[in-house]
Amino acid sequence: MQVLELYSGIGGMHMAFKESGKPGCIKAAVEINTTANSIYKYNFPDTKLLNLNIEGLTADTINQLEVDTILMSPPCQPFTRNGKQLDMEDARSDSFQHILHLLPDLAIKNVLIENVKGFEQSEMRNLLIKTLTENSFTYQEFLLTPYQFGIPNSRLRYYCLAKKQPEKFQFETRESVMDIIPSHTNESSCFPIQDILEDDLEDCNFRLHDSTLKRRLKVLDICYRTSRKSCCFTKAYGRFMQGTGSVFTDLDEETVFETLANLGRMDPASNDYLDLAQSLNLRFFTPHEIAKLMGFPETFSFPQDISNRQKYMVLGNSINVKVVSKLIRQL
């Protein structure tokens, strides 16, 4: 595979391609976000990285790269349930439409697309399938979550694999969305959260603020060392509490449940309430821990000038490396 990585972000697709073990290389990556690009370049200094708007790409430019595979994760905001769901009317879908417009003039044989759940019901999805079909691609859509691969994190995502005919997949495709990839054995359980925790962590910078303990304690999803699940981490993690990801405590589950029950009978404005809430030792997961939950290898790292807030944002926009690597093997 000679790969063009579009919307390359911090290099999740690049990592997934390496993880897949398939022969080939990333010929070029395209991303407009300068923070993401600095992280990508830090980890893949030898890859050609184009800092430009994808709408500026032409068929000639892409063909000159001599690529036969496109891996991409277009912006999800037009389709996410927490957004306005403007679909193709959202300007952030324009670049994806542009790529589909170029596809008939490209020497592309393989395509992998990742997006949020909900994309499968969008007009943009309909345009994608129409374009693939009209250009002699066979395709298969999936809805997959890391839980299915033994990873204790919820990140349900839409995926589409496409191959240029006469090439075929080595599995039987179907029109409906598949919820498991062929030849995969569903894991009976996920590994425990303790497997991704940083050792000897000075966690004072990651402790929850007192204001959060007073006002938002009831909405937190709390993980323990023995936990085998966690919520999806979004780019708002660390800034907003509900629906952005889980938090962690080293205490056992029984102690936490008992403490929460006692807190439920107390006045949140009292000093005693805050003292007891602080005893839970709740902290955010670190960026490194989240990266490991998302399948990034130990070799992945951030430049020193990237703040934790920036790390959370780019990780929230990235992919699960392990899941995508298995899809690339099928592609």
Domain count of the chain?
A: 2
pLDDT at 82: 67
pTM of the model: 0.94
Q: Which of 25, 76, 223, 232 is catalytic?
A: 76
What CATH code is carried by the domain that includes residue 242?
3.90.120.10
- Judgement on whether residues 17 and 104 belong to the same structural domain of the protein: yes
What CATH code is carried by the domain that includes residue 43?
3.40.50.150
- Judgement on whether residues 177 and 208 belong to the same structural domain of the protein: no
- Judgement on whether residues 97 and 206 belong to the same structural domain of the protein: no
- 76: annotated active-site residue: yes
Nearest to 115 by CA among 145, 73, 156, 62: 73
The better pLDDT of the pair 212, 85 is held by 212
- Judgement on whether residues 25 and 168 belong to the same structural domain of the protein: yes
Determine which helix (DSSP H) or strand (DSSP E) holds 283, and give its type and residue range: strand 283-284
Q: Which two tokens stand for residue 159?
A: 């995926």
Domain range for 249: 199-285
Q: Could you tell me which residues are beta bridge partners of residue 139?
A: 162
- Judgement on whether residues 144 and 206 belong to the same structural domain of the protein: no
pLDDT in tens, 242-274: 999 999 999 999 999 999 999 999 999 999 999
Describe the strand order of the beta sheet including 110-116 as a list of residue ranges: 49-50, 25-30, 2-6, 69-72, 110-116, 157-164, 137-144
pLDDT at 185: 56
Distance of alpha carbon 198 from alpha carbon 165, whole angstroms: 47
Check pLDDT > 80 for residue 4: yes
